[in-house]
């Protein structure tokens, strides 16, 4: 039955035009989507080449029908079928004026590039790779992203790298670099992705000279281009040691610092500051002492932005403080100056007392990073963090303030406060503060303080951190400590059963 129906519809598709062709395509689409038929049984009965041929039109309805049908048919074929069986159609599709057709072909090539057999098929058809690389300049962003994914999948394999960095494909990339800015930066983004895949991939990207060309974009007079450049250079430095060393050895950090210094005399540079600060913020997470000593203007700007009237700069400064302080070396560099330390902590404390949305949440997140310690804190670190803690609030116990904030009816705030509590839980002095804070011990054991899944999980992580601390047995009284252990054993979602008593004669 299905075979006969498919044969009849295929005949109509091959001989019809206009409205009759649309009706035939609609019938085929209905058949493939019918629950009465198994797609794997029906699909082989439909000649896919007929559908590819029907894409040679500008009729949008016809194209969308064909696209939907082909996606169904290709989903049950092997990943490499798009190359093995329909190569010529794909090349035509990649050059089609309608983006839906280009997107269809690229999405199938992306699926093909994700399998070994498909990868081998692609490597045997360099002309397909040429057209794929040209798709980086597609006006439709979805098509450009698919092309990026295909090429980066190929670059995961040594044989793929060999093909991609041969003259034929490299000349395509060089030609793309001569096109408009958005296309040029798509090429840069692709190479930042590829270089992170392996040492060999990094060396290929470096030798191509394209990473070096990315670095020269910093010399542009276009602020937007410079911002995009910093975004990619930050990704490059974040991708691994190869990328980090390239950024350092290429003089990029020095040039970034020069831009930072120009900010005071050039008002336009203020537009660039978020990108520059983010860049230095990342570098200082890995090498805080080196970065802050060689480029002191970075921290000076961050501290000044904490009180900026520009919300974007102020939030960025808060985030940067948290990012740098997340490691112990970064914490010590950031708070090396006592006067600065007290001022920064007072600003964060003021932000969380203000209840001003993002300022409060970001400041709580920064505090969680400041007090974070991957291991059991040393006595010296405990002393540093205690000093910072006491600077948070004037005339009030900071923990009491945090407890009050945790009562706000906003889940994002709840979770941010709990992250701070979890960071504090490793310190003996913080546990002692908890025992002295009115209502805090009751809060610890009260499961009703959190109503959603994420909140319950965050609070449970805090409890587990307390239980696993070597100080908790000593700091908390035994009955309370045992209650904490019980909370840990019961898990984050435990609900205590309520006893019900039935009375004779009750309704």
The encoded tokens of residue 90 equal 């794909």
Give me the pLDDT at residue 116, please: 93
C-alpha distances in angstroms, 434 versus 10, 202, 396, 437?
76, 50, 14, 5
Give me the pLDDT at residue 365, please: 95
pLDDT of 503 above 60: no
505 vs 351, higher pLDDT: 351
**Cα-based angle 30, 97, 69 (whole degrees, multiple of 5):** 15
Give me the pLDDT at residue 395, please: 67
pLDDT of 466 above 80: yes
pLDDT category at 19 given cuts 50, 70, 90 is confident
**Cα-based angle 287, 292, 296 (whole degrees, multiple of 5):** 160
Give the tens place of pLDDT for each residue, 213-269.
999 998 888 888 998 999 999 999 888 889 988 998 888 888 888 888 887 777 777
Give the tens place of pLDDT for each residue, 339-390.
888 999 999 999 998 877 789 999 999 999 999 998 999 999 999 999 999 9
Q: In degrees rounded to 5, what are phi and psi of residue 209?
A: 85, -5
The DSSP symbol for 77 reads S
Compute the distance between CA of residue 496 and CA of residue 483 in angstroms, rounded to an integer. Answer: 14
Give the tens place of pLDDT for each residue, 114-161.
999 999 999 999 999 999 999 999 999 999 999 999 999 999 999 999
The encoded tokens of residue 433 equal 């503060």
Compute the distance between CA of residue 164 and CA of residue 210 in angstroms, rounded to an integer. Answer: 13
Q: H/E/C letters for each residue in 264-329?
A: CCCHHHHHCHHHHHHHHHHHHHHCHHHHHHHCCHHHHHHHHHCCCCCHHHHHHHHHHHHHHHCCHH
Compute the distance between CA of residue 427 and CA of residue 277 in angstroms, rounded to an integer. Answer: 31
Name the percent of the chain lying above pLDDT 90.
Answer: 54
The encoded tokens of residue 442 equal 């009751």
**Sign for the pseudo-dihedral over CA of 373, 379, 382, 383:** negative
Kindly provide the residue ranges of all beta strands, DSSP E only, lying in 182-275, ordered along the sequence.
Answer: none
The DSSP symbol for 188 reads H
368 vs 281, higher pLDDT: 368
The DSSP symbol for 137 reads G
Distance between the two ends of the chain, CA-based, in angstroms?
63
Give me the mean pLDDT over the 18-30 stretch. Answer: 83
Give me the mean pLDDT over the 300-310 stretch. Answer: 90
**Which residue, chain included where needed, has tokens 């969308």?**
64
pLDDT category at 493 given cuts 50, 70, 90 is confident
User: 18: left (phi > 0), else alpha (psi -120 to 50), else beta?
Assistant: left
CA dihedral 252, 255, 257, 260 (to 10 degrees): -120
Compute the distance between CA of residue 114 and CA of residue 157 in angstroms, rounded to an integer. Answer: 11
The DSSP symbol for 230 reads H
Q: Classify residue 349 by burial, with Cβ atoms within 10 Å: 0-12, 13-18, 19+.
A: buried
**Which residue, chain included where needed, has tokens 């410079």?**
226
Q: How many beta carbons lie within 10 A of that of residue 477, not counting itself?
A: 11
pLDDT category at 450 given cuts 50, 70, 90 is confident
Give me the pLDDT at residue 133, please: 96
The encoded tokens of residue 279 equal 């860049």
The encoded tokens of residue 5 equal 């129906």
pLDDT of 212 above 70: yes
pLDDT of 183 above 80: yes
* Nearest one of 465, 458, 389 to 423, comparing CA atoms: 465
Longest dimension (CA), the chain: 92
Helices (H), 326-452: 328-334, 338-354, 357-370, 379-390, 398-405, 411-424, 428-436, 440-445
Q: H/E/C letters for each residue in 27-42?
A: HHHHHHCCCCCCHHHH
Give the tens place of pLDDT for each residue, 76-116.
888 899 999 999 999 999 999 999 999 999 999 999 999 99
CA dihedral 236, 266, 294, 319 (to 10 degrees): -60
């Amino acid at each position: 039955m299905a075979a006969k129906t498919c044969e009849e519809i295929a005949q109509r598709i091959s001989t019809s035009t206009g409205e009759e062709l649309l009706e035939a395509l609609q019938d085929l689409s209905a058949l493939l989507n019918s629950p009465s038929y198994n797609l794997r049984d029906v699909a082989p009965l439909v000649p896919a080449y007929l559908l590819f041929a029907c894409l040679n039109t500008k009729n949008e309805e016809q194209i969308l029908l064909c696209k939907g049908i082909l996606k169904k048919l290709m989903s049950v074929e092997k990943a490499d079928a798009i190359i093995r069986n329909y190569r010529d159609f794909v090349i035509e599709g990649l050059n089609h004026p309608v983006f839906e057709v280009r997107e269809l072909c690229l999405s199938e090539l992306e699926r093909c590039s994700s399998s070994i057999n498909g990868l081998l098929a692609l490597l045997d058809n360099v002309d397909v790779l040429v057209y794929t690389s040209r798709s980086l300049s597609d006006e439709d962003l979805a098509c450009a992203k698919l092309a990026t994914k295909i090429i980066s999948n190929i670059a995961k394999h040594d044989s793929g790298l060999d093909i991609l960095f041969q003259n034929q494909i490299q000349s395509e990339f060089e030609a793309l670099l001569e096109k408009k800015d958005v296309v040029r930066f798509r090429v840069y983004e692709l190479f930042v992705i590829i270089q992170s895949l392996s040492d060999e991939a990094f060396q290929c990207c470096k030798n191509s000279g394209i990473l070096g060309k990315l670095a020269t974009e910093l010399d542009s007079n276009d602020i937007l281009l410079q911002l995009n450049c910093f975004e990619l250079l930050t990704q490059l430095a974040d991708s691994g040691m190869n990328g980090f060393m390239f950024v350092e050895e290429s003089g990029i950090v020095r040039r970034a610092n020069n831009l930072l210094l120009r900010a005071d005399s050039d008002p336009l540079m203020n537009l660039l500051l978020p990108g520059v600060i983010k860049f230095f913020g990342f570098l200082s997470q890995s090498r805080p002492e080196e970065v802050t000593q060689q480029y002191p203007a970075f921290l000076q700007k961050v501290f000044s932005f904490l009180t900026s009237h520009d919300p974007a700069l102020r939030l960025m400064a808060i985030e940067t403080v948290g990012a740098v302080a997340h490691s112990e070396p970064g914490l010590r560099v950031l708070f090396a100056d006592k006067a600065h330390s007290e001022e920064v902590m007072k600003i964060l404390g003021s932000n969380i007392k203000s209840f001003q949305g993002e300022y409060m949440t970001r400041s709580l997140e920064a505090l969680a990073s400041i007090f974070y310690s991957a291991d059991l804190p040393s006595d010296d670190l405990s002393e540093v963090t205690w000093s910072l803690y006491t600077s948070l609030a004037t005339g009030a116990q900071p923990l009491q303030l945090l407890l009050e904030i945790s009562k706000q009816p906003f889940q994002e705030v709840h979770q941010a406060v709990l992250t701070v509590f979890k960071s504090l839980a490793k310190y003996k002095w913080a546990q002692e503060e908890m025992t002295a804070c009115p209502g805090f011990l009751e809060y610890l054991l009260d499961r009703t303080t959190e109503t959603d899944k994420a909140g319950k999980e965050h609070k449970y992580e805090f409890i587990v951190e307390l239980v696993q601390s070597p100080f908790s047995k000593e700091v908390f009284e035994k009955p309370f400590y045992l209650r904490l252990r019980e909370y840990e054993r019961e898990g984050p979602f435990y609900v205590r059963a309520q006893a019900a008593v039935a009375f004779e004669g009750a309704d």
